[in-house]
Amino acid sequence: MAKKTRKWYKKQCDKLWQKCVKARAGYRSEMSGTREGRMVGHHVMKKPNLFLRYNLDNGMCVTTGEHFAIHYKGAEWLCYKSFIVLRGEHLLEALDSFRSINIKDMPEWTLEGKYDELKEELKKWES
């Protein structure tokens, strides 16, 4: 079997992150509460680094329509408001502080480790 590459781990982590965010929310939009339509995981804070990109606290389950509205119709404020109601302003502030993290300064953080962690989280949410 060929050695798994960084690109492979990133792609798999992206998929697992999406699945975890949706499973944790019970496949229900965390903005509107609906189960109608296709659900996607939305990064609440932009993802300037892999630590924030794969942090499950940085995710909300939303419909594809809501996701479009967040990115292209100025509904980002509604996403933040929903997030604060669900998880608290303290978590939003913590996520904002993670934007400047450089994972190169965190030798214990690896894509392989995050991949394993996300697989375990998904098992928890799907059971």
What distance, in Å, lies between the first and last C-alpha atoms of the chain?
30
For the segment 107-112, the average pLDDT, to the nearest whole number, is 93
- Please tell me the predicted confidence (pLDDT) of residue 98: 93
Residue 1's pLDDT band, with cuts at 50, 70 and 90, is low
Q: Whole-prediction pTM value?
A: 0.94
Lowest mean pLDDT among 11-15, 25-29, 105-109: 105-109
pLDDT in tens, 61-78: 999 999 999 999 999 999
- Please tell me the predicted confidence (pLDDT) of residue 28: 98
Asked if 44 and 80 touch (Cβ cutoff 8 Å), the reply is: yes
**Closest by alpha carbon to 14, among 118, 94, 84?**
118
The first and second tokens of residue 6, run together, are 């960084």
Residue holding tokens 């996403």?
79
- Please tell me the predicted confidence (pLDDT) of residue 51: 94
Q: Average per-residue pLDDT in the chain?
A: 95
- E strands, 20-74, are 39-43, 59-63
- The ranges assigned to domains in the chain are 30-121
- Please tell me the predicted confidence (pLDDT) of residue 103: 87
